[in-house]
Amino acid sequence: MDYERLAEAHQRIADAHANLAGLLQGRSIQPDLLTPVTVAPAPARSTKFSAGDDFHISPCWFWRHALVELQGQLRQHFGTKSFRAREIRKFLLTWVDLRPEDTESCGNSPRWHKNFDNAMRVASPEYWPSGVPVVVRGTGPDCWVLT
C-alpha cells in the first residue's frame, strides 16, 4: 500500500472515530458510518525504464540492464520456450520508454532494434549487470531463449 492510500485510510478511521464519539454523546455529526466508502485508485505511475536524458539513443548497456530488471516478467511471458527477436522487442515496448531518436529509421527498422539486437548478442558475463546473460542464442536462425 502506498503512502497516499495509507494516509487516506488513517483519515477515514479518524473521521469514523469522530462520528462514533458524536453518536455516543447524543449529537450525531453525520450518521454515515454504515455507507460503504470506495477508495479511489492510486494514480498510475510510469513503470517504464528509461535511458535518461543524457543519451540521444538508448545504448546497448541500457538494453542489457532492462533485460536484467525485467527478467521475471520475461520468464512469466515467454517461459522456457524459444522466441524471436521481434517478439521480445514487441514485449519490451510496454516496459521501456524509448528516446525520440530510438524510433528514427536506421535502414529498414527503428534505430533501437539494432542497439537491442547488439545487446542480446553479447554473451560475455562481464557485459551484463548481473554477471549472467539473460538471453542467449537458441537453436535456429533468430531464435533466443532465457537463461
* In a shared domain, residues 57 and 103: yes
Mean pLDDT value of segment 112-125: 91
* In a shared domain, residues 23 and 76: no
* In a shared domain, residues 33 and 72: no
* In a shared domain, residues 73 and 138: yes
pLDDT given at position 91: 94
* In a shared domain, residues 69 and 26: no
pLDDT given at position 142: 84
CA distance 54 to 101: 12
* In a shared domain, residues 34 and 62: no
Cα 81 to its chain centre, rounded Å, is 22
140 Cβ neighbours under 8 A, 6+ residues apart? 82
134 Cβ neighbours under 8 A, 6+ residues apart? 64, 67, 68, 71, 74, 128, 146, 147
* In a shared domain, residues 57 and 84: yes
Task: Print the domain residue range for 13.
Answer: 1-45
* In a shared domain, residues 66 and 19: no
* In a shared domain, residues 73 and 106: yes
* In a shared domain, residues 77 and 132: yes
* In a shared domain, residues 36 and 55: no
On whether the pTM is more than 0.75, the answer is no
Q: Does 20 score more than 70 pLDDT?
A: no
Percent helix, strand, coil in the chain (nearest 5)? 45, 10, 45
Backbone angles phi and psi of 98, in degrees to 5: -75, 145
